[in-house]
Amino acid sequence: MKKNQTFLVVATLLLALPVVFSACVKDDCTREYTYTLMTPVYKTKAEVRANIKSNPARELRNTGKLYVLGNYIFLNEIDKGIHVIDNTNPAAPRNSWFIDIPGNVDLAVKGNTLYADLYTDLVTIDISNPAAVVVKKVVENMFPHRAYGNGFNANNNQIIVEWNTRDTTVRESCDRQNWAMNFTRGDVLLANSGTVGGGFSTATGAPKGISGSMARFTIMNDRLYTVNMRDLDVFNITNAVDPVHTNRVNVGWNIETVYPFRDKLFVGSQTGMYIFNVSNPDAPYAAGQFQHVRTCDPVIADDNYAYVTLSSGNVCQGFTNELDILELNAIGNPQLVKVYTMNSPKGLSKSGDHLFICDGTAGVKVYNAADVTNLRLVKTITGYNAFDVIAYNNLAMVVAVDGLYQYDYTDINNIRLLSKMTINK
């Protein structure tokens, strides 16, 4: 089902420049600009929910968040769904199924139950039989701030499942002040962005669910905690297939990630790190915070320290690229211990004394972090743009722009590549 509504998206100013031509008549001047024409394809909510099942595996594309449980890897494809990968043999992982979930960005798993966002809704899926997953519950409108992007808001009856695209050229006045301004012409919108927005054995592999540091969903003490742009939501999942929303706590603004450790949640935002005490799992309360300049901010922690990566970029709106290490002895007042300059750090993971940092185009940096005031670089793995990493039990999984990589770090001085699953553009 299609809806008669279309986007024209400016790819980038630099891409437009080669196709710019001037035509002056008297004092008038016009130029040609090339855009990508994007038309949303809709399905009804009933159609979408009926297709949330174990569909045949498909090639990896535009991947995002990573979650590991037992011998399975759950890898999000942004706004499309979740790839289920059998990782019984990390040297030869098998792309097994794809679960179609339009609007999916985040996920978490408890036992045989998968939790995922479907734009504004929370979906609960029974994965006890990975070849035949079943939707058990949908909690509607739990993530009200979630939008499709580029001016499209969530619809009560229909869901965007894909975009049809084609290029087009339009002629504009040379004197327009903002080449990327929004304006409307009937059905057509010129947008200012080039982007559009029996089951799982734990005998080997991850003994419990492990999420990457970029996660917005996490599980602790029979509770699912989720964050959106400003709130922390709590769901009681004692009955795993029947999550019950028990609380919503306002955190701040531009919230990005959540990481669990002991009875604390470490929440990363674009302006700081927040610590919430969850000794009462249904009533998180603010226990401390650390403010920084405006940047993107994943965070992990151990018994004594929090590790925060700050990165710049178009979305992050900052200019800082560094690793901050904070002492947590006084949990209400974390103290900055050391700052390390980075290239463009994103996700990170810690295994014993080994700290793994995805540093964008600089690859993955592996440090000996026994002394946080003097990190010792052990290895830099280059050749790709790294986004997130999970390291546990001598196995490191790295999500990069071009692939899902797995490494054996049993010998930290001789880290070995086990496999790569290609991610297509």
Report domain extents, the chain. Answer: 6-44+145-191
pLDDT value at residue 381: 98
Going by C-alpha positions, the residue among 73, 108, 111, 393 that lies closest to residue 259 is: 108
Tokens of 171: 């002629």
pLDDT value at residue 332: 85
Q: Is 293 helix (H, G, I), strand (E, B) or coil?
A: coil
pLDDT value at residue 178: 42
Indicate the length of the chain as a whole number: 425
Strand partners, 42: 160
Residue 149 · residue 196 · CB < 8 Å = yes
- Count Cβ atoms below 10 Å from residue 282 Cβ, excluding itself: 13
pLDDT digits (tens, 9 = 90+) for 56-96: 999 999 999 999 999 999 999 999 999 999 999 999 999 99
pLDDT value at residue 55: 93
For the chain, what is the radius of gyration of the CA atoms?
A: 23
pLDDT value at residue 295: 58
Tokens of 221: 């003490």
Residue 273 · residue 325 · CB < 8 Å = no
How confident is the prediction along the chain (425 residues), in pLDDT tens digits per residue? 444 454 444 443 334 444 444 444 445 677 776 767 777 777 787 888 888 999 999 999 999 999 999 999 999 999 999 999 999 999 999 999 999 998 899 999 999 999 999 988 999 999 999 889 999 999 999 998 776 555 555 566 777 777 777 777 767 665 554 433 333 332 333 333 332 224 444 444 544 689 999 999 999 999 999 999 889 999 999 999 999 999 999 998 888 899 998 899 999 888 888 999 999 999 999 998 888 645 566 899 999 999 999 888 645 455 689 999 999 998 888 999 999 999 999 999 999 999 999 999 999 999 999 999 999 999 999 999 999 999 999 999 999 999 999 999 999 999 999 999 999 97
Strand partners, 300: 307
CA dist., res. 208 & res. 369, Å (int): 24
CA dist., res. 238 & res. 250, Å (int): 24
pLDDT value at residue 145: 76
Tokens of 139: 């909690």
List b or e across 107-138, with b for residues whose CB sees 16 or more CB atoms inside 10 angstroms: bbbbbbbbbbbbbbbbbbbbbeebeebebebe
Which helix (H) or strand (E) segment holds residue 49: the answer is helix 45-50
**Residues whose CB falls within 8 Å of the CB of residue 344, separated by 6 or more in sequence, listed in order:** 311, 312, 313, 321, 359, 360, 361, 362
CA dist., res. 313 & res. 260, Å (int): 26
pLDDT digits (tens, 9 = 90+) for 321-330: 999 999 999 8
Tokens of 209: 């669910």
Report the chain's terminal Cα–Cα distance, integer Å.
26
pLDDT value at residue 224: 97
pLDDT value at residue 193: 33
CA dist., res. 38 & res. 137, Å (int): 32
